[in-house]
Amino acid sequence: MPSKNPAFSRGFGNNAGPGQPYAGWGNAPQQQYGAPQYGAPQYGAPAPQQDQYAAPSPYGTTPDTRYMTMDDVVTKTGLSFLVTVATAAAVWAMPGNAAWGFALPAVLVAFVLGLVISFKQIASPIATLSYGALYGVALGAISEAFNDRFDGIVMQALIGTFGVFAGMLVVYKTGAIRVTPKFTRWMMAALIGVLVLMVANLVAGFFTDGGLGLRDGGPLAIIFSLVVIGVAAFSLLLDFDMADEAIRRGAPAKFAWYIAFGLLVTVVWLYLEILRLLSYLQDD
């Protein structure tokens, strides 16, 4: 099954052992229905009963494999966020501007690690928690810088992020918005569009002051930030659906670390965009 989350852009993987990438998930064998057999009926011979539990697993798992549950997703995701927040708090507590000396290297390493996890589909606690810790370093430095200029803005952004997350979870669970193939296509188009505009604004910034005006704090920047927050929020629906789909398809418990990674990517993006929007609104 193709993934609906950018972090899961290559879909499910195959169970390849601890810390190894997963590739080719969702290729469940299709039941073959042959043509009806015509001829003399075999009366008196009972039809053989097929044991559905004796069929081989489409994921290459063994009978003693523990399958992923929602508790696994919640536990792994919670632990990943805990590591990220704890690292950010530790960096924030560093004296002076020492945190900035670690922020840029942490962002670069986290970016590369995130690409490796996404494309190789690594479902590993070491990979996911390392990514969370690295981004925690960057978030600590960024949050401190914003809070020094706009006192209390970080708490507001955290409350906003939690509110959006909880709201989208309710929307998903109640079925108010259903994750359909059409919805997924629209979301992927929106994600690509936002990314293209961000890159275009960055490139334009090298030639004109403020670039395209998408990040200069003006009215256009506020509108664009609201659009990005909306795209990030609706991306959470894709994350929730991916977790449910993995559970329905019998993914191994270890795959919950990959789900946690995807949720972490989306929530960090959402937090940073809310932080940016609040800074626009509070800027003199």
pLDDT at site 62: 54
Confidence of residue 63 (pLDDT cuts 50, 70, 90): low
Residues 69, 42: Cα–Cα separation, whole Å = 44
CA distance linking residue 149 with residue 279, whole number of Å: 9
pLDDT band at 64 (very low <50, low <70, confident <90, very high): low
DSSP 79-100: HHHHHHHHHHHHHHTSSTTTTH
pLDDT in tens, 132-159: 999 999 999 899 889 988 989 999 999 9
Mean pLDDT of 105-117: 90
The reported pLDDT for the residue numbered 211 is 80
Per-residue pLDDT at 257 exceeds 50: yes
How far from 243 is each of 102, 126, 174, 246, CA to CA, in Å? Answer: 33, 20, 16, 5
Is the pLDDT at 31 greater than 50, yes or no? no
Give the lowest-confidence range in 95-99, 167-171, 174-178, 240-244.
Answer: 95-99
Please check whether residue 76 is in contact with residue 128, taking contact to mean a CB–CB distance below 8 angstroms: yes
Average pLDDT, the chain: 80
CA–CA separation, 253 and 71 (whole Å): 10
Global confidence as pTM? 0.77
Angle at 8 between CA 3 and CA 10, to 5 degrees: 70
pLDDT of residue 222: 93
Higher pLDDT, 21 or 109: 109
Spatial distance between the Cα atoms of 70 and 85, rounded to a whole number of angstroms: 22
Give the pLDDT mean for 66-92: 92
Distance CA 190, CA 185 (A): 9
Mean pLDDT to the nearest integer, 102-109 = 86
Question: Is 107:58 a contact under the CB 8 Å cutoff?
Answer: no
pLDDT of residue 284: 54
pLDDT in tens, 193-234: 999 999 998 898 888 887 888 888 889 999 999 999 999 999
> What are the sequence ranges of the domains in the chain?
66-282
pLDDT of residue 5 exceeding 60, the answer is no
Q: Say yes or no to pLDDT of 86 above 90.
A: yes
Pairwise CA distance, residues 259 & 240, whole Å: 9
